[in-house]
Structure 1
């Protein structure tokens, strides 16, 4: 600015010569004023660590950047207590969860959008815009007319709350902290301040507040400007882009050296003097090659690796062993950074050759930074000048423009969390048979869930006993290993042989889910157990036949006492049981669910959309198994002796020569006629036998059968029918 003022003043006083002298003095004043006092501008590490220090500088963002920001407001941790269990002499369990509300400043310049958000390096919000943890999120663009955030206003009062005008910031309301060890995580944000790329000229004009004063050449994806002065913020950009001060008819400008204009003929700025030998070039110096750095290493942010630090290097031809490292707080693709590093390496030799050229006072009109051409055709950059009486010494440095070109470069293997699109969640309920000992005292209701891709993280579930009952939180169900449904009907098969005739065609919820084949030994050992509706089966062969579609064959049907007599319709639910992800409904709640009036509410982890599923009347785990091996033996007097073998719900395997355990509190049998005959039966027995006399047989109508049921602690077994007439 002093250059302009003193040029005008000198022109009024001394004409063109006075203007030239004023320009020279003004440039010296500007150089003293704008002389750097040390690196006070942005640093690469500044944008990675979140801070809450009072007085922390908020950068001005350009383009698209990833920043941590500064916490400008926060509440204390919000504690929630959840009590579960208890009753029947058992202790209750109290669980604590925590949340926090906070505001984070991102840019002291308006922004256009907030895209992805990371928490402790993992995606909290992906490109789909869905949050992985439950919270309410808002952001303010940093305009001068933005209103006070309602949460901050409600917390500290409308009269005391600041609108933070001119500051772009994000607000989290009740961010759940369970996934972060009940502490506030380190948050980073992908912020879009400008559409498209930016350059040094656009950034310089914005920071200096004068349109058209600056021009840039190299495109950047994003830049974070900070520092004590505009010079500090612009210095890294101007250094790598070769921006120099140039003056012209429209005043001073900051432009890349390649755009400063055509070189001026230096011979026209010295008057020939009669009787003197013309002396132009009075001194020439050339620094040794060893004085140059051996290589240039440029560090920057790489968009291909989620804005992690990257570096590209280029060797300096003939340089020494020293390595020069340049930290540029800008976002550059790897190929662009490689080309820029090569240009900087080539430009390192430009200043090696210095020429001092002697001119007269008219040479003061030459702007420092402009390129000039000597009589031999060589081009030099005017780096400075010395004024002694009427002689002007111009310091010239060899100028060899380097073409701008993008070279191929690899950013390296990115290490990033997967950014999945929004997934559709599915929750299914299965009424399991009793699968262990001792026998179950309540229904075994399995809750299985899965999403349409691997980014789905599970479902938070609540149990509702009745229409007007308060929901009870029962926890989070993780994604199952294999969950789906039948793609086509499945006919019934044998419960006693490996079914090699029928095959189940199953469509899985997530196409990335897989099923595995096993041999007969593993199959008979209990591998590949699955529920298909109310039937438990096993499969030996699993063959993929399409995206997420599997053909299951070599089936063992009706396992654990379940029945396979009916045809399974298409869309019958399927779940693989050899998996710890599905969750059993707690026993206390399963008792309530046996009536069939209860419901299950669920929401995807971190989501708010609630889905309700009816819990059908269940209790397969409470029902004893139907007896087998029924036999009728004549007693020789016209009557008959009935006998049978029991099966146990606590041990469903086939055993030879020994009886299975009863599995109930006592052994009891109920025998009745089917269809019933008035005045005859039913009979109660404590042993698996019954004698029916000839007098009873004589009055039974043809087609009469005997229905034999085991009486369990909670329910009778299905009947075994023996025809007696």
Structure 2
């Protein structure tokens, strides 16, 4: 800057010679006073990786698209919430605590356009689609405009009069971020910030940092850049080093110059004092060991989620002298490789030094100018000049051509998965008897998944009084394979495999799969699923669409649910009862006959939780219905009706002995519906009943048998008497 000012002043006072003297003085002032080297180094890559909250910490000025940590500038204390969960019959209650916090993070000291992905402790908190992976009450981005208002949450807690709007600076506000996923603390956050649309030239960055004092096209475009710290000079010098640029004085400031652009041709014509010809031909070549053998460039690689990468250029030979450039910029591997190759090429080319002398009337050719020498093809830049005996002596360095496009690999990276979560898909049902446990209260089963593969869990609420009150029921289990019925399976019998019917189901998202099972695996309980109210198994599953599957080789009406065969409708739930994907809970003993409401609230369910109603019939606590009803006519109009009971604790008949009763006593309620619309009910303690002619009545009659269990009657089994 002083060079430009004093050159102009010297020209006014003493013409071109005075201008030359002024320029020489100005260069000395620039070198030793204004632009004297400072202690602080340029920005490092590590300065962008760790979130801080220190007062006075420098805030980067962001260009292009970058990943940065930012600085926490405001936060509430942790907000504690508690909930009490019933442990079920005979179990103590459990009190659970959860925590949330609201806070603001300053991102850039200049305006930005958008925030894309956000990472928390290295895992994605917000995906590319704008979806959050953990629950956040609200998220607001203040882009840094000069007219941006104060944040409403901060103003409400701190007072509008003392809350700064941070105009000209971009910051993000999180409201009620749930901290359970982060060890009940505010996680370390990094943000993918889009400050400008598209790549940015280094010349444009330098111009922005200096308020237009530096102009020009640097020729190197970066996907993103972070100008970190208060020393813009070191940042601009770093950019110039990366782009192989230099600075030349101009009428309006400094121009960032590169190998591209017009050049002045120097002629040998004109009068020269003695010795001028020798000066014109002076050349010097520095030793090879004065330049590095390896140039490495460290950078942020967008292809690797902005993790630090390193690319090297190596000169042939055995030397190991290394020059390293830490570039806090986002650029791909090939671009970083090209920067390293170009830097190594420049270092080798600039071993050559040339000095030429031209007439004094060429004094307008100053440091930074591009020149050619008549009769030569090489392009040079003026490094320095002096006025000696009415000749302008120029010190020149060669300008190399950019290397060919580099080929480089960014390496492999295991990036944080960005799977959509979506809304919770919820299914709840009274669980049929799957084992030999004797329950005294109805058992509710809950399975859930998400509309996206990124769904993990949701919090559950249960109401057993029609929604008048709700109690927390913990969280859902692992994501279940869940969907809805598209084509119901129709009717069948439970005693043999259903090879006639099939059922089509549509799963919640296309990452869910269903598998096959052979006879032995089915006998071991494989592929067990709730299909509406019927418990089935399936041997084959064929994918017929992205989310649609056709199930065949069906085992119907499993575990006493044969009464629901053929009752399914389109839209009823399908749930694969896999291990660890279903949770069960005991309900109050008086719930039978009522409707239980279940709500699930996950990250994608705010503010509308998933909701289902479950009619509790008691099938989880009553004996299964009798089977194998038959009738035999006897003398005098007598009819003997016999049946076989089943047991809640004897599903697998493996020893040829009658299954244990599983109830307090063996009792049955037998209803005889006669043709004259007159019905009678008879109780018996044996699995048979002899009806007299009067009890049977004349004409057809329906005999229905229910086993009376300790907690209620079974589903009915019927036979028609002709």
Which residue does the alignment assign to 2:43?
42
* Whole-angstrom CA distance in 2 between matches of 1:85 and 1:565: 35
Which residue does the alignment assign to 1:76?
77
Secondary structure of 1:651 counterpart: coil
**Equivalent residues of 1:483, 1:575 under 8 A apart:** yes
Which residue does the alignment assign to 1:719?
716
* Whole-angstrom CA distance in 1 between matches of 2:62 and 2:344: 28
Secondary structure of 1:64 counterpart: strand
Per-residue deviation, residues 244-292 of structure 1 (Å, max 9, x unmatched)? 12134x2442322324630441647x8512x667431475332222333
Specify which of 686, 707, 710 is matched with residue 710 of structure 1: 707
Which residue does the alignment assign to 2:395?
395
User: Cα 1:675–1:291, aligned 2, differ >3 Å: closer, same or farther?
Assistant: farther
Structure 1 position 481, deviation (Å): 3.9
* Whole-angstrom CA distance in 1 between matches of 2:487 and 2:317: 74
Higher deviation after alignment, 613-622 or 202-211 = 613-622
**Equivalent residues of 2:214, 2:256 under 8 A apart:** no
Structure 1 position 641, deviation (Å): 4.9
* Whole-angstrom CA distance in 1 between matches of 2:89 and 2:569: 42
**Equivalent residues of 2:424, 2:600 under 8 A apart:** no
* Whole-angstrom CA distance in 1 between matches of 2:678 and 2:551: 51
Secondary structure of 2:712 counterpart: coil
**Equivalent residues of 1:77, 1:99 under 8 A apart:** yes
Structure 1 position 468, deviation (Å): 5.5
Secondary structure of 2:73 counterpart: strand
- 1:138-537, aligned counterparts within 5 Å? 138-210=140-212, 213-248=215-250, 250-259=251-260, 261-265=262-266, 267=268, 272-273=272-273, 278-281=277-280, 284-316=283-315, 320-357=319-356, 365-374=364-373, 377=376, 378-385=378-385, 394-402=394-402, 406-421=405-420, 423-466=422-465, 469-478=468-477, 480-537=479-536
Structure 2 residue 540 is the aligned partner of structure 1 residue 541: yes
* Whole-angstrom CA distance in 1 between matches of 2:504 and 2:710: 38
Structure 1 position 46, deviation (Å): 0.9
User: Cα 1:554–1:235, aligned 2, differ >3 Å: closer, same or farther?
Assistant: same
**Equivalent residues of 2:436, 2:651 under 8 A apart:** no
* Whole-angstrom CA distance in 1 between matches of 2:19 and 2:317: 43
* Whole-angstrom CA distance in 2 between matches of 1:217 and 1:470: 68
Per-residue deviation, residues 637-658 of structure 1 (Å, max 9, x unmatched)? 7645544321012332345642
Structure 1 position 692, deviation (Å): 4.2
User: Cα 1:683–1:592, aligned 2, differ >3 Å: closer, same or farther?
Assistant: closer
* Whole-angstrom CA distance in 1 between matches of 2:44 and 2:472: 47
**Equivalent residues of 2:640, 2:689 under 8 A apart:** yes
- When the two chains are superposed, the root-mean-square deviation of aligned CA atoms in Å is 2.9
User: Cα 1:620–1:277, aligned 2, differ >3 Å: closer, same or farther?
Assistant: closer
User: Cα 1:159–1:637, aligned 2, differ >3 Å: closer, same or farther?
Assistant: same
Which residue does the alignment assign to 1:62?
63
* Whole-angstrom CA distance in 1 between matches of 2:572 and 2:276: 106
Structure 1 position 133, deviation (Å): 1.5
User: Cα 1:593–1:306, aligned 2, differ >3 Å: closer, same or farther?
Assistant: farther
Higher deviation after alignment, 172-181 or 508-517 = 508-517
* Whole-angstrom CA distance in 2 between matches of 1:521 and 1:422: 36
**Equivalent residues of 2:131, 2:421 under 8 A apart:** yes
What is the TM-score when the length of structure 1 is the normalising length?
A: 0.91
Specify which of 584, 593, 600 is matched with residue 602 of structure 1: 600
* Whole-angstrom CA distance in 2 between matches of 1:496 and 1:183: 57
* Whole-angstrom CA distance in 2 between matches of 1:432 and 1:469: 24
Per-residue deviation, residues 113-146 of structure 1 (Å, max 9, x unmatched)? 1111111111111122121122111121223332
Secondary structure of 1:196 counterpart: coil
- Unaligned residue ranges in structure 1 (runs of 5+): none
Q: How many residues align?
A: 717
**Equivalent residues of 2:214, 2:255 under 8 A apart:** no
* Whole-angstrom CA distance in 2 between matches of 1:547 and 1:722: 45
* Whole-angstrom CA distance in 2 between matches of 1:389 and 1:703: 136
Which residue does the alignment assign to 1:26?
26
Higher deviation after alignment, 627-636 or 368-377 = 627-636
**Equivalent residues of 1:257, 1:370 under 8 A apart:** no
Structure 1 position 608, deviation (Å): 0.7
- 1:89-104, aligned counterparts within 5 Å? 89-104=90-105
* Whole-angstrom CA distance in 1 between matches of 2:275 and 2:62: 59
Higher deviation after alignment, 8-17 or 83-92 = 83-92
Structure 1 position 97, deviation (Å): 0.7
Structure 2 residue 568 is the aligned partner of structure 1 residue 579: no
Secondary structure of 1:575 counterpart: strand
**Equivalent residues of 1:133, 1:607 under 8 A apart:** no
User: Cα 1:606–1:551, aligned 2, differ >3 Å: closer, same or farther?
Assistant: closer
Structure 1 position 79, deviation (Å): 1.0
Structure 1 position 681, deviation (Å): 5.1
Per-residue deviation, residues 531-577 of structure 1 (Å, max 9, x unmatched)? 11111111122222332222222221111011154353333321111
Secondary structure of 1:7 counterpart: helix
Which residue does the alignment assign to 2:129?
128
* Whole-angstrom CA distance in 2 between matches of 1:322 and 1:39: 24
* Whole-angstrom CA distance in 2 between matches of 1:253 and 1:557: 84
* Whole-angstrom CA distance in 2 between matches of 1:45 and 1:144: 30
Secondary structure of 1:165 counterpart: coil
* Whole-angstrom CA distance in 1 between matches of 2:271 and 2:29: 28
User: Cα 1:596–1:12, aligned 2, differ >3 Å: closer, same or farther?
Assistant: same
* Whole-angstrom CA distance in 1 between matches of 2:560 and 2:681: 25
Per-residue deviation, residues 509-539 of structure 1 (Å, max 9, x unmatched)? 2222111112211111221111111111111
User: Cα 1:495–1:72, aligned 2, differ >3 Å: closer, same or farther?
Assistant: same
**Equivalent residues of 1:84, 1:92 under 8 A apart:** yes
Structure 1 position 86, deviation (Å): 5.4
User: Cα 1:464–1:720, aligned 2, differ >3 Å: closer, same or farther?
Assistant: closer
Secondary structure of 2:167 counterpart: coil
User: Cα 1:565–1:374, aligned 2, differ >3 Å: closer, same or farther?
Assistant: closer
* Whole-angstrom CA distance in 1 between matches of 2:213 and 2:594: 73
* Whole-angstrom CA distance in 2 between matches of 1:356 and 1:151: 66
**Equivalent residues of 2:213, 2:254 under 8 A apart:** no
**Equivalent residues of 2:4, 2:249 under 8 A apart:** no
Secondary structure of 1:711 counterpart: strand
* Whole-angstrom CA distance in 2 between matches of 1:657 and 1:196: 77
Per-residue deviation, residues 593-620 of structure 1 (Å, max 9, x unmatched)? 5444442233333541314333334432
Secondary structure of 1:231 counterpart: helix
User: Cα 1:247–1:723, aligned 2, differ >3 Å: closer, same or farther?
Assistant: closer
**Equivalent residues of 2:217, 2:256 under 8 A apart:** yes
Structure 1 position 177, deviation (Å): 0.5
Secondary structure of 1:46 counterpart: helix
User: Cα 1:303–1:169, aligned 2, differ >3 Å: closer, same or farther?
Assistant: same
